[in-house]
Structure 1
Amino acid sequence: MKVLIRNLARSVTQAELEALFKPFGKIKNCTLVLDAKTGKSKGFGFVEMENGRDAIKAIKALNTLRVHGYGIRVKAAESTEE
């Protein structure tokens, strides 16, 4: 299950993002979205977890958690597949 994380402080690293989700289960993929020109964070990212139940637990536990002073928003990513 793919999870969208928004409202991240620009200083949050991909390793920190992955560390937030690691206690909830096995992570398939973790991506912090970066600006192509500057290489700096755009303030959101995606984490894909192997088990959907683990992802739901992570969403419930991490949504509105304060990270680097920002209340992050965590939800299931909407599928773009047709």
Structure 2
Amino acid sequence: MSIYVGNLSYEVAQDDLEQVFAEYGTVKRAQLPLDRETGRPRGFGFVEMESEDEETAAIDALNGVEWMGRSMKVNKARPKEDKRSFNKGNNRSY
């Protein structure tokens, strides 16, 4: 399971994200997706912690907290949806 971290400043670096979450346990991985065209951060990221208890502690402590001028949105990440599944069961051609 991983944590979704939204509404991040575009100035946040991966190391910054790791440091903030490290206060609540061991960070296994932190990721800041980049925009394909510009190569700049997209304003959100994902963090994986060592245990579910650490994830819960980080979510409870950091959700809604202001960091670098923005109020972070922190919650459990949802599984990535398959973009092809929207047309499942519909055999029409467009």
Fold match, TM over 0.5? yes
Task: Give the TM-score of the pair, scaled to structure 2.
Answer: 0.81
5+ residue gaps, structure 2, are 82-94
The count of aligned residue pairs is 81
Runs in 1 of length 4+ with deviation above 3 angstroms? none
Aligned 1:16-27 pairs, distance under 5 A? 16-27=16-27
Tell me how large the CA RMSD over aligned residues is. Answer: 1.3
Q: For 1:70 and 1:80, how far apart are their aligned partners in 2?
A: 25
* Partner-residue secondary structure (3-state), 2:37: coil
Task: Give the TM-score of the pair, scaled to structure 1.
Answer: 0.92
* Partner-residue secondary structure (3-state), 2:44: strand
RCO greater where, 1 or 2, for CA within 8 Å and sep 6 or more?
Answer: 1
**One-letter amino acid of the structure 2 residue matched with residue 19 of structure 1:** Q
| Higher gyration radius (CA) | 2
What is the aligned-residue identity percentage? Answer: 40
More strand by share: 1
5+ residue gaps, structure 1, are none
Structure 1 residue aligned with 2:72: 72
* Partner-residue secondary structure (3-state), 2:42: strand
**One-letter amino acid of the structure 1 residue matched with residue 37 of structure 2:** K
